[in-house]
Amino acid sequence: MSTGLILLIITVATALAFDFLNGFHDAANSIATVVSTRVLSPRLAVVWAAAFNFLAAFILGTAVAKMIGQGMIQLDIVTQYVVLAGLLGAIVWDLVTWLLGLPTSSSHALIGGYAGAAMARATILHGWRSAPAVIIASGWTKTLIFIVVAPVMGFVLGFGFMVAISWIFQHRSPRQVDKLFRKLQLVSAAFYSLGHGGNDAQKTMGIVAGALYTAGVMSPRDFAANWGRWHWPIILAANAAIALGTYSGGWRIVHTMGSKITKLKPVGGFCAEAAGAITLFGTALAGIPVSTTHTITGAIIGVGTTNRISAVRWGVARRIVWAWVVTIPASAVVAMVAFWIIRLFNPTA
């Protein structure tokens, strides 16, 4: 077995390991609301979410994957080692924030790591002034704008749904409303999990496709079109990995998302999940890589503020926002260090 093939296997395996960790880390996004409202037990909730994470493979296309694979970083600087170092940066940051119980964005950790590794290679080859040139501005502009837009959309939709439902059901007893939305929350949780699987798994698809391309396994024509014969193997592998990760849990973050930000009832859980699902479906179909974590957090806060501003624990929310702010630069720095370490052992990396 050649060295190149071994490196490709390691890179793809690392990408799928990141995808698994993404599902594990972001299990909170899919199930925190349905668990905190006690509509489902934690174990049933993760099965429910994992199933719909996988089904997203057949529904939401690959527009986000193509943006990650081709629209973020100049491909002439990308090698197997760049991809590997980028993945390591994202994985390390995800593990750190998981240990701290912070619901940060695995997606932004991935693109931050990918950019950091590419910039490290450009710096070594051409000097530090060349590093910014590896960034494709158009792809990053959309992503950076939606760091703000996605949680705001979640907030506005969550707030709006909650106000509308409160008005529509104002003459129903709390018990009747609770009974109805316990059933409806299963539907909203399913749709949110579809959006989560469709958006987040696609980011790993783009990385895997990039690894196959830089290894020469995929032709430029196939890569630019629809990945040729690798199309379905990439899609199914990425969605299976994120589904398995979701099934494995991530309870530290579930606790933060489900109970520390604000207290939710089934009607609130439905509104938050519906708001998040609409945002994720729209951005996935438009090919915009957004954070599922940011989206559902914004939706939960929007629902909480319909009771009163003090219903939201703003200290916890502030801590989460600071974690969001540092995710891209932190994962980029970790990936740079990882690439430089790789370079010490292989000067041709």
CA atoms within 13 A on the CB side of 30: 37
Residue 62 or 322, more confident = 62
pLDDT of amino acid 258: 46
> For residues 297 and 258, what is the distance between their CA atoms, to the nearest angstrom?
10
> For residues 106 and 93, what is the distance between their CA atoms, to the nearest angstrom?
8
Residue 211 or 106, more confident = 211
Nearest to 305 by CA among 146, 140, 158, 168: 158
Which phi-psi region, left, alpha or beta, contains residue 40 (left: φ > 0; alpha: ψ -120 to 50)? beta
Question: Does residue 124 have a pLDDT over 90?
Answer: yes
> For residues 222 and 233, what is the distance between their CA atoms, to the nearest angstrom?
14
Question: Does residue 103 have a pLDDT over 80?
Answer: no
Residue type at 278 in one-letter notation: I
pLDDT of amino acid 37: 72
pLDDT in tens, 298-337: 888 888 888 765 555 556 566 667 767 788 999 999 999 9
* Span 120-145, average pLDDT: 91
Q: Where are the beta strands (DSSP E) in 13-91?
A: none
First CA to last CA distance, the chain: 19
In percent, the amount of the chain with pLDDT more than 70 equals 88
- What's the pTM value of the predicted model, to 2 decimals? 0.84
pLDDT of amino acid 81: 94
pLDDT of amino acid 316: 56
In percent, the amount of the chain with pLDDT more than 90 equals 39
Domain ranges of the chain: 3-344
Question: Does residue 338 have a pLDDT over 50?
Answer: yes
Residue 11 or 251, more confident = 11
Report residue 249's pLDDT band, with 50, 70 and 90 as the boundaries.
low
Decide if 40 contacts 52 (C-beta within 8 A).
no
pLDDT in tens, 162-179: 999 999 998 889 889 989
